[in-house]
Amino acid sequence: MASNTNLFNRRQALGYGAAALTVSIGSAVRAQQAQEITVFGHRVHQTAATTGAGGDATVAYREASKGKLNWVTLGDVNAIHERLLREASLSTGSIDVAYMLNGRASARNLSLFESLDAFLKDAPIEDLADFAPGLVSPFRAKTGLMGIPVRHSTNALVYNEELFKERGVDPNFKSFEDVMAAAKKLTFRRTDGTQVIGLSFAPQFASHFLTLSRSLGADYMTAERNIVAAEEPMIKFLEGLADLYKTGAVPRNFATINNEEVAVQLQQGRCAMSLNSLARLPVLNDPAKSKYPGKIKPMSPPVSAVPRKGVYNAPVEFWALMIPKNSKNKQQAWEFIRSLSSKASTLQMAKNGNGPTRVSAYKNWTTQPFATAEAVALTLARPHLPAFDEQSRAHDIFVEETVSAITGMKDSRQAMTDATRRVRPLVFSG
């Protein structure tokens, strides 16, 4: 589509956002002198909001409110939440708006933040129903909605179209079993001597395993915190991956390979399939880095041929914007959240590299070739693990035991029995 017909070009986006905010901004804020609010999060949050092809998405808020923004950012997720929760526990804090990862949204942590229901009633957010439902429900508490989703990372099965053609493999898989069989067929040595691995992915993330396991209805935990890792679907899944490892269809260094190494494998044609965030597809297809630009494509893993309950849910992690109870500028903080979460701002940030949390953003993102696939995945996505105080420790235990099963250090059933035993005491701590 030509740039002059793009529904939300930069000038229109800023204009719509500013106009909407000017009309609806609360009288209390208008009456105040220009104030500075402090926004706390990861460095990438500030970059996604202010820098890139979509332009500065905070202009609408700043022009309408005449307020200023003080960004305070860190580069480590654990450090961010440690500081945020420490600050939010004080009688008086310095943070007005905060980004929180869904895995940290335990009942104990959410109690430190302001319910947004009253703000939503007085000055509603534009089309709240447009946000993917799986990104909203984890931030609902007994006291109301506590956060507005602003950035997500949803996983998919990605594949090299050229390697599939070379081996005569049809990517239109009918079942999960077809994926496993293809991984073996796609493990081969090319005529130029390049060794190709059928399936390669970084094992440090539970979401990577669950991207495939949910095709069989296999999971680590339910949303209600029931541990289901030792049930038959997960055992069957792990036995299948262990078989791929034995036959060389999964890298020999699987236990230690990381995301960047996998990205290079994909870009150089040394692996045929991988599990990766949909947000990384532009990088994987970057002509400056990839030998196969435009040929690394996503798919939602097909479900098993064996009957299973429910629909496929892609694992998702996401950040939400929240207001600490001890914020001194709650009304302005809310207006900032309203502005940044508008449809126009969401699309601006998407063009800056942010994972948009509104489903409608993908319909208007005409320059993104994988927008349709990501919109479908996001609609049914749900978190890899529910939030509780010891979630990060539980995550690491699940990953550790899973890797031990795949690499043959433990029997799959024993590994998941051990994982269940180790995680159970952590689950109901918060």
pLDDT in tens, 177-227: 999 999 999 999 999 999 999 999 999 999 999 999 999 999 999 989 999
CA atoms 327, 332, 335, 336: torsion sign: negative
Give CA angle at 90 (88, 91), nearest 5°. 115
What letter would DSSP give residue 34? Answer: P
Where residue 229 falls (left for φ over 0; alpha for ψ -120 to 50; beta otherwise) is: alpha
CB atoms under 10 Å from CB of 198, counted, come to 26
Look at 79-93, 237-251, 357-371 and tell me which has the smallest mean pLDDT.
357-371
What's the Cα-to-Cα distance from 281 to each of 20, 214, 296, rounded to whole Å?
33, 22, 7
Please name each of the domains of the chain with its CATH number.
Answer: 3-146+323-382 (3.40.190.10), 154-314+388-427 (3.40.190.10)
> In the Cβ-directed half-sphere of 161, how many Cα atoms lie within 13 Å?
11
If you search the block for the tokens 């010891």, which residue do you land on? 390
The mean pLDDT value for 280-308 works out to 90
Tokens of residue 117, six digits: 């229901």
**Residue 23 pLDDT exceeds 90:** no
Residue 344's identity, in one-letter code, is A
If you search the block for the tokens 């998919």, which residue do you land on? 156
What is the predicted pLDDT for the residue at 366? 67
| pTM (global) more than 0.85 | no
What is the predicted pLDDT for the residue at 362? 84
CA atoms 298, 211, 291, 350: torsion sign: positive
Q: Grade residue 5 by pLDDT with cuts at 50, 70 and 90.
A: very low
Query: Residue 155: CB partners within 8 Å, gap ≥ 6?
Result: 207, 208, 211, 275, 276, 277, 278, 314, 315, 316
Tokens of residue 81, six digits: 């939440």
For the chain, percent of residues with pLDDT exceeding 70: 91
